[in-house]
Amino acid sequence: MLKVAVVRFPGSNCDFDTLHAAERAGTDAYFVWHRDAQLQGADVVLLPGGFSYGDYLRSGAIARFSPVMQAVQRHAADGGPVLGICNGFQILCEAHLLPGALMRNAGLTFVSKPVDVVVERTATVFTSGYAADARLRLPVAHGDGRFAAADDTLRMLEAEGRVVLRYVPATEGSPLQPNPNGSANHIAGICNAAGTVVGIMPHPERISDPTQGLPDGLEFFTSMAAWQPRPSSTLSTPNR
């Protein structure tokens, strides 16, 4: 059974939802504390949402230096999958495991509501089970979700097909407010070149239980559960 470490920082608050979603998908999921220097043999690491270290200085900035993140860095460098959700995405950017940064929402308010997103890349460990260009309705809940990056970084992400989730533009008639935070290129989630490290602002774990009707987020976790640790896969080919 796939071993999945859910990292808890002081201030994480989506840790239990994330753990349960991973368990529901049929993995052996367990918590790892921020002071732990080991991941206990994890195949996959999940960085849950919340407000690690009180969001002091910048969201995710302090978490980056915790002992457990040194282990996550090594895990990712070895090709190990990592999914950062919301605060976890912010931590991945601060740790330079993903490019860019997440800044204060353009509207200045904390945004907590469902949004429509398109799965633009299915060649990742966490989105392989979705149909190409699947449209999902996922909750967001963040104050610092505006993805920003240098122009050449944005061009690189687009050219390499590394935008995993994109907010549905207003022109496509989503009944929900498009792009809730002013993100560059309507980006809601990105990945590394190999598709092993993924960061997303929406919370799939919050809509991953069959009792919720259409659990649009569940496939992030079932995709992960279906991932084969070895031999090395062919995930580096974008699907678009």
Beta bridge partners of 197: 82
Which residues are CB-neighbours of 151 under 8 A, at least 6 positions away? none
Catalytic pick among 34, 94, 203, 219: 203
Rounded CA separation 166/187 (Å): 5
The torsion region of residue 90 among left (phi > 0), alpha (psi -120 to 50) and beta comes to alpha
Can 191 be counted among the known catalytic residues?
Answer: no
Residues within the interface to another protein (CB under 8 A): 57-58, 61, 65, 93-94, 99-101, 103-108, 146, 148-150, 182
Specify the residue, 107 or 169, whose C-beta has the smaller distance to another protein: 107
Nearer to another protein, 59 or 124 (CB): 59
Instruction: CB nearer to another protein: give 79 or 143.
Output: 143
**Least distance from another protein to the Cβ atom of residue 190, Å:** 13
d(CA 53, CA 96): 18
> Which residue among 14, 75, 86, 186 is the active-site one?
86
Per the annotation, the verdict on 93 as an active-site residue is no
The strand pair at 187-191 and 197-200 is best described as antiparallel
Task: Please identify, using beta-carbon distances, which residue of 127 and 183 lies nearer to another protein.
Answer: 183
The CA-atom distances, in angstroms, between 231 and each of 77, 192, 228, 235 are 16, 19, 7, 12
- The Cα 97–Cα 81 span in angstroms is 11
Look-up of token digits 């995709």: 223
Q: Which of 174, 201, 200, 191 is nearest to 235 (CA)?
A: 191
> Least distance to another protein from the beta carbon of 103, Å?
6
Give the residue from 100, 42, 38 showing the smallest Cα distance to 69.
38
From the CB of 106, what's the least distance to another protein, in Å? 5
AA letter at 9: F
Q: Output the smallest distance, CB 59 to another protein, in A.
A: 10
| Nearest-approach distance from CB 61 to another protein, in angstroms | 7
| Nearer to another protein (CB atom), residue 156 or residue 226 | 156
Residues with catalytic roles: 86, 203, 205
